[in-house]
Amino acid sequence: MKHSVESALPMMEWLPEYDQSWIRLDIVAGITVAAAVIPESLAYASLAGLPPQTGLYAALLGAITYVFLASSRQVIVGPTSALAILLLAGVGPIAASNGITYPAAVAVTTLLVGIISIAAWVFRLGHLVNFISGSVLTGFSTGAALYIISTQLGKLFGIEGADGTFFERFWFILSHLNEAQSTTVIVGLLSIGLLLLGERFQRVPTALVVVILAIVTSSVLDLQAQGVAVVGDLQSGLPTLTVPPVPEVGVVGALTPVAFALFILSYVQGIGAVQTFARRNGYRADPDQELLADGAANVAAGLFGGFAVGGSMSRSALNDSMGGKSQVVSAVVAAVLVVVLLFLTGVFTTLPDATLAAVVTVAVLGLIDVAEMKRLRQVTRSEFAIASATLLGVLALGMVWGVFIGVGLSLLHMISLVSNPKTEALGRFPDSNHFINPKRHPEAVEDSGVLVYRVDAELFYANTNVVQNDLEARIEAHDSPVDLVVFDLFSSPIVDYAAAEFFGDLRSDLASQGIDLRIAGANEQVVEMLNAVGLNEELGGVREDETIASTIDRWRREEGVPS
């Protein structure tokens, strides 16, 4: 659990080696990314139910933190749509029922996210993300996108009062369409149309262009006087240190599950972007270091008036497409945000809420992955069921429960896989020492009196009973009497203490039936474990990496059995 200063501050490693030829690329990428960050941050603050400037604060603090702490060179950190809506859905009801202001509850929750992430860094838990399956992310992202869109329908139609789950919000809008504000609808639909049209031009900051057009149109036509809701005054100036009041223990306890859900979502989204762009650009990123960077960014956001942040795949992809080479890009983004906060906040006063809703809506459309859902349905029904359950959990129960349902199902599926491993009996390929599955290769034949058995999983306490029952069933169903069982561990690189003891019990059970047991394909760790429990010699002297063929030959020599 030790961390060196250099590993905790990656900037100390990459900055002295910075290639001066990258500076132009990084500056251009930084300005381009900032053009996307500004409207999205305003929109996601609105989505989270917070003042617009808090989105800019969160983006600024995330960018500054990542300059110093990120191991990734391309990932851009800031507010995301999923984190924003999860904050609103999870924190809002708790704040309302406990007499704490919503902004204060958001600040405390964001601090908790940071603390959880830093604690995970201390204990090097970055690998735990591997336990959350891709099907969960597919279902969650699709469900989250639909849920987020449902939260924006009221702003797009100028209808107030929609609340609750996806289905409740959607039904409310449908049943109140007669209350839609026509000018607001026109602004929203035009904004969506322009944003979709702009997707054809990858290098154009479409969202910023649409926001500027909406501001100009709103000012010239005085849309606010025509009933169109606008952003209103934004507080100018840089964020200041604002330590939130410490709530009662019960409130902190209620906010902690929400913070944990936000942590999971933030890290899973972020590490996906980190790994994607590290592979694409030919370097290795450190998953544990990203925990520290993510944690520090959220602590900073919680203390300086922002809200929960995480790695953004879309903004990171924009950075990469513009040739961004290092976290100097984040420094440029931060510089642009400082200028906006100091001098340009007044520009956004007349920005229609419908345009911000359009920015959110178009931004999350890419999260709806129908193609992947279809592929899961065709390839693996179990993964499709997990994705579907996660999606429906988000829509029917909300974002927080959606996260926990997805993670819970993912863990249950993993436990099911390892506790019910795939097993197979192997046969010898003709005129060779290679053993393969006869069901896939009918030409393979079993050695007389020998059953070669393989488990395609690690052996541990949770699956040994299943393995023993399966092996006994195969022995009973064998075409001829079995004299020797060769347990091939080539696909079982790890054997825990309980599994080692299992081999002793299995040897005794088989011996009572007149059947010998030998082990093949054991690695060094397995041999050491069998030695430690005193079973090596009882199993015929297990040798490191001994093949199936040589194990059978040695048994025949020792027992005087003809080939």
Alpha carbons within 13 angstroms on the beta-carbon side of residue 268 total: 24
**Averaged over 337-353, what is the pLDDT?**
94
Which residues, in sequence order, are CB contacts of 112 under 8 Å at separation 6+?
252, 255, 256, 259
Of all residues in the chain, the percent with pLDDT exceeding 90 is 69
Give the lowest-confidence range in 109-113, 241-245, 293-297: 241-245
**pLDDT above 90: residue 84:** yes
Q: Model confidence over 235-283: pLDDT tens digits?
A: 999 999 998 888 899 999 999 999 999 999 899 888 878 888 888 888 8
Same-domain pairing of 390 and 467: no
SS (H, E, C) 450-493: EEEEEECCCECCCCHHHHHHHHHHHHHHCCCCCCEEEEECCCCC
State the Cα–Cα distance between residues 389 and 462, nearest whole angstrom: 26
Q: Which pLDDT belongs to residue 205?
A: 84
Query: Is the dihedral angle over the CA atoms 129, 135, 140, 145 positive or is it negative?
Result: positive
Specify whether 299 is located in the same domain as 366: yes
CATH code (residue 540): 3.30.750.24
Domain boundary residue, one of 414, 448, 476? 414
Over 70: is that where the pLDDT of 4 sits?
no
CA atoms within 13 A on the CB side of 68: 11
Residue range 411-470, pLDDT digits in tens: 888 888 889 999 999 999 988 899 999 988 899 888 889 999 999 999 999 999 999 999
Q: Are 474 and 451 in contact (CB under 8 A)?
A: yes
- pLDDT 10s digits, 545-556: 799 999 999 999
In terms of domains, do 259 and 115 share one? Answer: yes
Question: What pLDDT score does 7 carry?
Answer: 60
Assess whether 179 and 268 both reside in one domain.
yes
Return the amino acid letter for 77.
V
* Residue 26 pLDDT: 95
Q: Is the pLDDT of residue 107 over 80?
A: yes
For residues 140 and 394, the answer to whether their CB atoms sit within 8 Å is yes
Structurally, the chain folds into a number of domains equal to 2
Range of the domain at 488: 423-559
DSSP 74-96: S-EEE--HHHHHHHHHHHHHHHH
Same domain, 361 and 432: no
Note whether 403 and 428 are same-domain residues: no
Supply the pLDDT for residue 322: 84
One-letter identity of residue 503: F
Domain end position, chosen among 414, 435, 456: 414
**Angle subtended at Cα 534 by Cα 531 and Cα 535, rounded to the nearest 5 degrees:** 85
Same structural domain, 374 and 479: no
338 with 363, same domain: the answer is yes
Same domain, 399 and 495: no
Same domain for 538 and 458 = yes
Task: Find, among 143, 78, 152, the residue nearest to 356 by Cα.
Answer: 152
The answer for residues whose C-beta is within 8 angstroms of residue 544's C-beta and 6 or more apart is 522, 523, 524, 527
| CA–CA gap between residue 43 and residue 354 (Å, rounded) | 10
Select from 390, 414, 438 the last residue of a domain: 414
**Do residues 5 and 12 make contact, with C-beta atoms less than 8 angstroms apart?**
yes
Cβ–Cβ < 8 Å for 290, 271: yes
Confidence band of 6 (pLDDT split at 50, 70, 90): low
With a CB cutoff of 8 Å and minimum separation 6, the contacts of 556 are 562, 563
Rounded mean pLDDT, 6-16? 78
pLDDT in tens, 307-331: 999 999 889 988 898 899 999 999 9
CB 6 within 8 A of CB 12: yes
Q: How many CB atoms lie within 10 A of CB 378?
A: 9
More reliable by pLDDT, 129 or 518: 518
Distance CA 531, CA 264 (A): 41
- Cβ contacts of residue 233 below 8 Å, gap of 6+? 349
Whole-model pTM over 0.85: no
Q: Quote the pLDDT of residue 3.
A: 53
- What does the pLDDT read at residue 5? 54
Structure tokens that stand for 265 in this block: 């979502």
Contact residues for 421 (Cβ-Cβ < 8 A; gap 6+)? 455, 456, 457, 463, 466, 467
Helices then strands, each counted (H, E), the chain: 22, 7
**496 and 410, same domain (yes or no):** no
What confidence score (pLDDT) does residue 114 get? 98
The per-residue pLDDT of the chain, averaged, comes to 91
Give the separation between CA 167 and CA 160, rounded to whole angstroms: 16
Q: Which residue has the higher pLDDT, 277 or 111?
A: 111
Q: Please tell me whether residues 213 and 104 are part of one structural domain.
A: yes
Residue 407 and residue 394: Cα distance in Å, rounded?
12
Segments in 282-369 forming alpha helices (H) = 287-303, 313-321, 328-339, 353-365
pLDDT of residue 485: 97
Q: Read off the pLDDT band of 367 (50, 70, 90).
A: confident
